[in-house]
């Protein structure tokens, strides 16, 4: 959705300083966690399938901008909300989502092996071909 917004708006926005942190995991690594949780996980447990932890949203915006040839710009608080730059996503993009994969890795023996989010953005995996 961030890529689609950037294409629509002509800039890649991030809220404020863009210091809020997001986590990411490649779909194949997430699938591996699901399998391991099914096979090894105690019933009722919660798992964090986090491969890349604490990525500043500004870094994500800059990676998207680099790929699209668009500037990454700070979006002031007064234009974040509906109908601002982020619209209904404003409450999501302004949050940080700290999580650790330590318990998941130790308990399930999981180790992410796929490329991280910034590498995936850099090599074009998240962009549709025109």
Domains defined for the chain, CATH in brackets: 2-122 (3.40.50.720)
Q: Please state whether the peptide bond connecting residue 83 to the residue before it is cis, i.e. omega within 30 degrees of 0.
A: yes
Cβ neighbours of residue 71 closer than 8 Å, sequence gap 6 or more? 11, 12, 65
* Whole-structure pTM value: 0.88
The answer to whether residues 68 and 3 touch, using CB atoms and an 8 Å cutoff, is yes
- The three-state secondary structure class of 56 is strand
H helices of 19-87, where? 27-40, 57-68
Residue 4 reports pLDDT greater than 70 = yes
Q: 19-31, pLDDT tens digit by residue?
A: 999 999 999 999 9
CA-CA distance, 114 to 111, in Å (whole number)? 9
CA-CA distance, 126 to 118, in Å (whole number)? 10
Rg of the chain over Cα atoms, rounded to whole angstroms, equals 16
Q: Give ∠ CA 87-26-123 in degrees, rounded to 5.
A: 85
Q: 37-56, pLDDT tens digit by residue?
A: 999 999 999 999 999 989 99
First-last CA distance in the chain:
17
């Amino acid at each position: 959705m961030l890529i689609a917004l950037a294409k629509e708006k002509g800039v890649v926005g991030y809220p404020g300083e863009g210091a809020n942190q997001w986590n990411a995991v490649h779909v194949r690594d997430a699938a591996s966690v699901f399998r391991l949780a099914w096979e090894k996980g105690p019933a009722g447990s919660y798992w964090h399938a986090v491969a890349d932890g604490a990525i500043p949203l500004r870094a994500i915006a800059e990676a998207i901008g680099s790929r699209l040839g668009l500037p990454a710009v700070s979006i002031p608080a007064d234009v974040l909300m509906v109908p601002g730059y982020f619209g209904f996503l404003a409450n999501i993009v302004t949050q940080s989502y700290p999580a650790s994969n330590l318990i998941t890795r130790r308990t399930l023996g999981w180790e992410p092996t796929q490329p991280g989010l910034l590498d995936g953005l850099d090599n074009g995996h998240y962009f549709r071909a025109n």
